[in-house]
Amino acid sequence: MSDYAVSLLVRIGVEAFVALSAYLLLVIGRISFGQQAFFVIGGYAAGIATALYGAPLAVGIMVGAVAAGVAGALLSAVMAPAGGIYFAAGSLAFGELVRVALLSFHYQVPVGADLTGPAGADGFRGIRALFTGGMSVTTYMLAVSGLLAVTSVVIVLLLSSRWGEAMRMVGEDETASASLGVRVRRVAALTMAGAGALAGLGGGLFVHYVTYIEPGHSDVMLGVHSLAYAFIGGLGTPLGPIIGVALDIGLLESFRFLAGYRMIVFGGLVMGLLVVRPRGLLDEVAVHRLSRLVAWGRR
């Protein structure tokens, strides 16, 4: 497989984690423009764990996910009761808060002959655990894909569990959910923490592939794209956001003649789909019909 294909697949995998994090929040009816913040928190934390403290790659990536999950939990203390436009605005503000804070974040320690660590606007370079550990990029791509597959299965199982029913109920009608005994704030808070951890997992995977991260990686467009991926692919299944990422990065980016027009095509695609299929290609109705078809086929 060519380096370009490997790079494309790693990018699809990494962004799929951010898209899944936005998707989880959409399940509970929250539109977030701030998942990029958890992505960079995860990236910085994972990088610090491996590059500064010598943690193994897998441990470092888990540290990133946990750090972003904790950030999600902290944010939920303020934002869990908020919904609609207030949550969207608050998440956008949080994303910008993190980006600006990272511009001033200096934490460099001597590693060998060099100073390594976050250096404000200059970012954080030299995160080489993937390459010093001897793992090939192809193996890494397979590991990212495998982790994504496992994560998707876990989310599918979660959403079909009692807890998942409560999440979907909250996403449809908080008043009716509360009147049935669902602790709406708790569901929202735990989902925000989980969504943060997922985006942080993506950040940890990303930072070890590209060996650096900077405040610019917390650009709001990553949050907007992760939302759009879920809306393109559909909100009826966790496969929806992954399909959305694959359509955007896999299809549009790989057609070189579209390179200059990618954002125009992408924007048009999102607009058109939101008009025709407001909840994406694989919305709840489509997924329900497909699952009935599969059940019928098994008989």
Q: Is 297 in the site for another protein (CB under 8 A)?
A: no
Q: Per CB under 8 A, which of residues 11..70 are in contact with another protein? A: none
| Residue from 122, 288, 290, 293 binding another protein (CB under 8 A) | 288
Q: Is 166 in the site for another protein (CB under 8 A)?
A: yes
CB of 165 to another protein, least distance (A): 4
Give the CA angle between residues 245, 250, 256 to the nearest 5°: 135
- Window contacting another protein (CB under 8 A); options: 30-38, 163-171, 237-245, 248-256: 163-171
Give the Cα separation of 36 and 91 in Å (integer): 10
* Distance set, CA 254 to CA 133, 136, 250, 269 (Å): 30, 23, 6, 16
Give the Cα separation of 276 and 294 in Å (integer): 25
CB of 248 to another protein, least distance (A): 25
Give the CA angle between residues 232, 198, 278 to the nearest 5°: 20
Q: Is 2 in the site for another protein (CB under 8 A)?
A: no
Q: Which is nearer to another protein, 74 or 176 (CB)?
A: 176
Q: Is 178 in the site for another protein (CB under 8 A)?
A: yes
Count residues near another protein (CB under 8 A).
22
Q: Is 162 in the site for another protein (CB under 8 A)?
A: yes
Q: Per CB under 8 A, which of residues 89..128 are in contact with another protein? A: none
Binding mask 179-208 for another protein (x = CB under 8 A): xxxxxx------------------------
Give the Cα separation of 30 and 96 in Å (integer): 18
End-to-end CA distance of the chain: 40
Q: Which helix (H) or strand (E) holds 152?
A: helix 137-159
Q: Under DSSP, is residue 106 helix (H, G, I), strand (E, B) or coil?
A: strand
